[in-house]
Structure 1
Amino acid sequence: MNPIFILRLAVAIILLTHSIPGMFDNGINNFGNLFLNQIGFSPFGVYIAWTIKLSHVVCAILFILNKYLKWASLVTILILTTGIFLVHLKEGWYVVGDGRNGIEYNFLLICVLVTIMYPNGIRKSKNSQL
């Protein structure tokens, strides 16, 4: 089995489990109303929250189907990076242990997504000049 497939599947599972329950337990609406609207995105917080979670579902499907991987990875990286600055950075590095809700999990996912985008590494073109 291709190791990149395992990473794609793992990220897809994470994105789906991070998104789908919130669609049915009011979690997405709460995130929009109780967090995003409160930090300055009012009155669009709920719409932004739904856009984020729906993009997670679409990107997860693309990872499973092995389609548009760079696009899906980039979208997810942008969301994770925004989450770092809006939510997690003030909590520090650690998700658990010496801290709570920090950036380490997003950092790891971003590294995995870059690996999915460039499974053979990022290579300098022979024609490029420095």
Structure 2
Amino acid sequence: MPIPFQKQLSTALISDANGGIAIVRIGVALIILMHPLHGYFHLENIPRFGEYLSGLGYPMGGLLAWLVLLIQTLSSVGLLLNRYVLPACMGHMVIISFGLVHVHAQYGWYVVGPGQGGMEWGFILLTALSAVMWAYWPRTAPAK
């Protein structure tokens, strides 16, 4: 006799955690990949980004702007191909964290609604990347 759907929901076990984390990994990679792709299609914006970074006090802002695009591209490709997942997550997390501090924090928490341009979306991305890292973190087998 089949179990009623409501009972199934309340007693559900993890059926495919690997599949679930793969959806998060691929989704985050595609979302972040849009940033460097936009940069490559609008090359006139990269020097402005470099000037912005220099204005924040970072040396070699233009080179740093290109480095950000390269890290975002390579990290997203790594996540999409399921290769070098830990360094890819770390690369994205560093860039997102700097973006939160230098751009989004001044607008508060909300991206839309009670505020605009805030930290909410970056925090969601950091949380998702942390979950992917947790799933891929090397573990040792328990001692027997």
TM-score (norm 2): 0.76
Question: For 1:34-83, what per-residue CA distance to the aligned partner results, in whole angstroms no more than 9, with x for missing partners?
Answer: x21222225x1111111111101100110011111111111111111111
Structure 1 spans left out of the alignment, 5+ residues: none
Moved more, 8-17 or 112-121: 112-121
Alignment coverage as a number of residue pairs = 123
| Structure 1 vs Structure 2 CA RMSD | 2.3
Deviations 1:56-111 (A, max 9, x none): 11001100111111111111111111111111111110112222211111100000
1:47 paired to 2:63: yes
Unaligned runs of 5+ in 2: 1-15
TM alignment of 1:20-99, pairs within 5 A:
20-25=37-42, 26-33=44-51, 35-41=52-58, 44-99=60-115
Instruction: Give 2:134's match in structure 1, choosing from 101, 118, 129.
Output: 118
| TM-score between both structures, scaled by the size of structure 1 | 0.83
Sequence identity percentage: 33
Which protein is bigger by CA-based radius of gyration?
2
For the residues of structure 1 that align with 2:75 and 2:64, how far apart are their CA atoms?
16
Deviation of the 1:126 alpha carbon: 7.1
Distance in structure 2 (CA, Å) of the matches to 1:120 and 1:12: 15
User: 2: distance between equivalents of 1:21 and 1:10?
Assistant: 17
